[in-house]
Structures are given as C-alpha cells and as structure tokens.
Structure 1
Amino acid sequence: MKTNYTLAVIALLFLTMVSCNNSKTVAQNNTTKYNGTAAVSQGPATVITQNIYDCDRGREAPIGTSTAMDGSIWTVPSEVNFTNNSFPFASDLYNPCTYVEHKSAEDAIAALDGKEIIEIDADGEVITAFVFADNYFEMYINGVPVGKDNVPFTQFNSNIVRFKVQRPFTIAMKLVDWEENSGLGSESNRGKAFHAGDGGMVAVFKDAKNNIIASTNSNWKAQTFYTAPLKDLSCASENGTLRLSENCDTEDSDDGTSYYALHWKLPSDWSIEGFDDSKWPSATEYTNAAIGVDNKPAYTNFIDVFDNSVNDAKFIWSTNVILDNEVIVRYTVSK
C-alpha cells in the first residue's frame, strides 16, 4: 500500500509539473503572436471606482487599472477628467439623465446665458459646437479645455460647447467608448455577458453668424490608444502608424475573462495646437446606420444640424469603431 501511495504521489507531482509547463507554454505562445508596439494585458482590470456617474436607466461606468505583461499599469477605459472640477462640462443639448431634452438647436441655444463660453482669445469670435459622442468626449481648443461630456456611458446624450477664439484654431478631442466589463472593452448586451459595443462621434462647429465652419469627416486625424477585447493577439497588426484590428473576431460571448487588450501611451502634448499629427491616420467615416442613431432623440432632434443638406457631418472614429475604445481626433480650422 505504501509503495502504491508513493507512486501515486510521484505521478500526481509529474502531472502537476507538466500542467504548469503547458500553461506557461500557452501563455508564451499567445503573447508571441503579437508583434506590435502596444503593451498587452489579459483578463479583467482591477476596478478602482465602480461607477463614476449615476443616471436613471444608465449603465455603470467603472474606472479600473490593467497590468500589462510588461508590468506597466494602464487606466481603463481612459484617464478622464470627468470628476475634475477645473475641466468644464459641456452644456446639454439633449440629456435624459438631467431631463434637459431640447427639441431643437435653437431652443438649446436660447436656454444659454453666455456664462458657458470659454474664452481663449479675448478678441476672438464665439464658436458653437454641437456634439453627439458614443460614449464620452473631452474637447480642447488650442490645448485649452472647453467642454467634457455630461454622461460618460449611457443614456445617450448630446452636447453644446461654446468658446471664444481667433481663427485658425485646432480642435483636439479624447473619445472614449466606455466599458461595463472593466479592462475587457465590453458590456452585457443582447443576452450575452461580453458584447463589444461600438463608438462614434459627430460634431458641427458654427461661427457667430450661424455658418458651419467645420464638421467631422475623413479630413480629421484619428489614432487609437486602447483596443479590446481581443480573443487572439495574432489578429492585430500595424502598418506604419495604423493600428489595425479589422481581422479580429467581434462576436459576443458568455465568457471573455481571458481576452486581451492593447494599450498605447498618449503623447503628453496631444491636445495642443503645435502637436505634429501629420503622420497619424485619417479618421474613418461611418454611416448613421452603422452607429445606430436613428432611434436616439439626442441625435434625431438635431438632424438639421448634424445632417445638414449642404454640409453633412460624418460620424468618425479610428479604423475599428467596435474594438478601439480610446481614440484621439484632431482638426485645424483655417482662417
């Protein structure tokens, strides 16, 4: 009996060692499939804040930290200024969370008192921006914070940002497709626990005479800095400054806890006028149908602005509106 027991223990130890070695091999094989410039994390983030904003019928908007395989630590879905009181909130165009639900852009403008205008140049002109972002945005003009989204995740809302500036000026925006499953770029939806939701942002800028002087389209620049969820690292690739994931599977699942994420560091000066974005990819345009706004009053109440018959603004994002969760877009408005 003692001999049999000893043999059983030896066999168990052997199987354990083989299992551990196989696990290490699998992890190494999965990691070596990726040859890009991003830091790679796997699995859920550590949730730091469970929900940064409460809204009736809205999803929780967590903030977490993911530790990459190289030891670097990343805030997910993004380092944002939502709770930073020095960064101004945009004004509501349509917001179910605050019950400010304007029927037209004219009504929304009439409700403002001018105190919301951020002065960049004392002798500049007042510019009014209309923004619908899925899900969250922070806007800078020449590096100056001028407005952030009132709702980080849902319900879907739209905003007005007003500022006083001379032309030319540079628009820089951080866009975030929020996540319910922190660190995994996904949410519970359509009966599945892990659904990779989509992003998308559209904006129109008007001068003091109500003329459209800029709107979102492929002339803007767009770069992604956080891509998730990835089921297989080999699907991601890079071509110059393009960070591509069009070959990656986006099907929903019930267990995404082993999925990967890619993280890139944002340049410290990305928001300023003089930042060189010349090598960044052009923004990718998406249709209203692709973003799914036809049933959202935060958009449809203002079709005359966003879908102007002469200057139709386009939804923009990076190359993957489903998997890219943190995107910087930039554009310079000429004189």
Structure 2
Amino acid sequence: MHTLLATAIVLSLGTGSVMAQSQTITADVWADNWFEMYVNGEKVLEDSVPITTERSFNAETASFEADMPMTIAIMAKDFKENDSGLEYIGTNRQQMGDGGLIAQFHDAAGALVAVTDGDARCLVVHHAPLDVACAKESNPVAGEGACGFTETDIPSDWTAPGFDDSAWPAAVVHSAQEVSPKDGYDNIAWDSSAELIWGEDLHQDNTLICRITVGS
C-alpha cells in the first residue's frame, strides 16, 4: 500500500495582515507511503524511509524555523511499481495500493497552528489504473486497456508562497477506518482537528500535491 502524494496546504489564522516574523515550528507527518514537505518554497522534511520499502508507514517529527505567514506544501506518494498504479505485479498479491496523509504543526509554545483537513488544496497528479479491472489482469501493461493512467504536469513553482492554488480542489477527508493508518501513526498524539486526507479515491489516486497558508 503505497502512493505518491504531492500535497500543498494553506491555513489562515485570523483575517488581519501579519508582519513577517520567524517562528520555530514542529511538524508531525504520517503518510502512506512517502512524502516530502516544503515551507515557503524551501524543502524542510522528507520521509526517511524510501518509498520502495515494503509496508513503510512511519511518521516523521521535525522542527524548523519559518517566517510568518508561511505556506506549507506537501507532496505525497503511494507506492506503485509503474504507471499502471499496481503493486506486487505478477504475484498472488497483485493489487492497487491505497494512500493517506495526516499532519499537524505546533509553535514553540506548543500551540497548534495548522493541521491537514478539508481546507487543504490538493491536486492529484497521477491517477491509475483508470479501470479497477486492471488489478485482475494476468499481464497488466501500463497505458493499455484497463491499465490506462492520467498524469498531470506539476507546476514548477507549486511550493512557492505566491502560487495560485485557487483552482485546485479541496482535499478529501477520509476516516481512520477507511485509511487504516498503522505503525508510526500510533506513535503521535494527534490533535482531534487533524484529519486524514487524500484525493477522492484512496486506491487510484497515487500522487498528490497540496497547499496550506498559515497566517495572512
């Protein structure tokens, strides 16, 4: 169960303007299967376990300095062997993977400043297979028949604070029952407002990019 997910999230704290000021932020992030995160266009965190590691469901916690307001951009991926979107191809476990992402952010005083929820803007950039029947094929070939796929170019500046994500759809919130988070997920004390997000389809949406802006 692995998916490539790219996610950028924008959260707004208050309606007034905020003078740029640096703060120490601590992030907790769990993804199935892999993620990398940017703040104000700079990469600050990457899943330490390679996406090719089978059943990797670890969480990452890290602190970094960020100027406020800040834009958090996360790319998330579920594992897939190729563009068919399948894993364990050619074995009796051949199947579509499934994804999921959750994150929360606290300031140095321990106050919650941002979470993943339905306010995040997330663009699915890889969706496969186009037909779930692909998972049952004896010789699935990416791009052929049921194993077709759609791929969207990732904007070069998607992590930048000034990027316009208004046309991106809102993230879809999924329940813990649907995602079945495990392993590293259980090591984090998640705030009740932090929610598991992905595209509409946990199985066929393989790569997402999402954005959140904290402060305005």
The letter for the 1-side match of 2:206 is N
Residue 300 in structure 1 maps to residue 186 in structure 2: yes
* Greater share of residues in helix: 1
* Greater share of residues in strand: 2
Match of 2:117 in 1: 217
The letter for the 1-side match of 2:66 is V
Cα deviation for residue 297 of structure 1 reads 3.0
Rate the CA distance shift 1:129–1:260 in 2: closer, same or farther, 3 A. Answer: same
Cα deviation for residue 166 of structure 1 reads 2.4
Match of 2:161 in 1: 273
Question: TM-score with structure 2 length normalisation?
Answer: 0.81
Ranges in structure 2 where 5+ consecutive residues have no aligned partner: 7-19
- Alpha-carbon separation, structure 2, partners of 1:286 and 1:199: 10
Match of 1:253 in 2: 136
Q: Return structure 1 stretches of 4+ with deviation > 2 angstroms.
A: 76-79, 152-155, 191-194, 249-252, 254-258
The letter for the 1-side match of 2:58 is N
Match of 2:83 in 1: 183
- Alpha-carbon separation, structure 2, partners of 1:78 and 1:315: 13
Match of 1:317 in 2: 198
Cα deviation for residue 192 of structure 1 reads 3.6
How many residue pairs get matched?
Answer: 194
- Counterpart pick for 2:128 among 221, 225, 228: 228
Cα deviation for residue 194 of structure 1 reads 2.9
Rate the CA distance shift 1:283–1:78 in 2: closer, same or farther, 3 A. Answer: closer
The letter for the 2-side match of 1:164 is E
The secondary structure found in structure 2 opposite 1:152 is: coil
Rate the CA distance shift 1:123–1:313 in 2: closer, same or farther, 3 A. Answer: closer
- Alpha-carbon separation, structure 2, partners of 1:250 and 1:124: 51
Match of 2:28 in 1: 130
Match of 1:152 in 2: 50
Cα deviation for residue 253 of structure 1 reads 1.5
Ranges in structure 1 where 5+ consecutive residues have no aligned partner: 1-58, 62-75, 80-121, 232-248
Greater RCO (Cα-Cα under 8 Å, separation 6 or more):
2
Cα deviation 1:173-230 (Å, max 9, x = unaligned)? 1111111x322111129x7453111111000100001111111100000001111112
Rate the CA distance shift 1:300–1:193 in 2: closer, same or farther, 3 A. Answer: closer
- Alpha-carbon separation, structure 1, partners of 2:95 and 2:65: 41
The secondary structure found in structure 1 opposite 2:184 is: helix
Cα deviation for residue 163 of structure 1 reads 1.2
- Alpha-carbon separation, structure 2, partners of 1:133 and 1:275: 24
RMSD: 2.6
Cα deviation for residue 251 of structure 1 reads 7.6
Cα deviation for residue 328 of structure 1 reads 0.3
Cα deviation 1:50-84 (Å, max 9, x = unaligned)? xxxxxxxxx9x9xxxxxxxxxxxxxx9699xxxxx
- Alpha-carbon separation, structure 2, partners of 1:196 and 1:250: 10
Cα deviation for residue 156 of structure 1 reads 1.6
Cα deviation for residue 167 of structure 1 reads 1.8
Higher Rg: 1
Match of 1:282 in 2: 170
Cα deviation for residue 168 of structure 1 reads 1.1
Match of 2:11 in 1: none
Question: TM-score with structure 1 length normalisation?
Answer: 0.54
Alpha-carbon contact 2:175-2:196 (below 8 Å) kept: yes
The secondary structure found in structure 2 opposite 1:166 is: strand
Alpha-carbon contact 2:32-2:56 (below 8 Å) kept: no
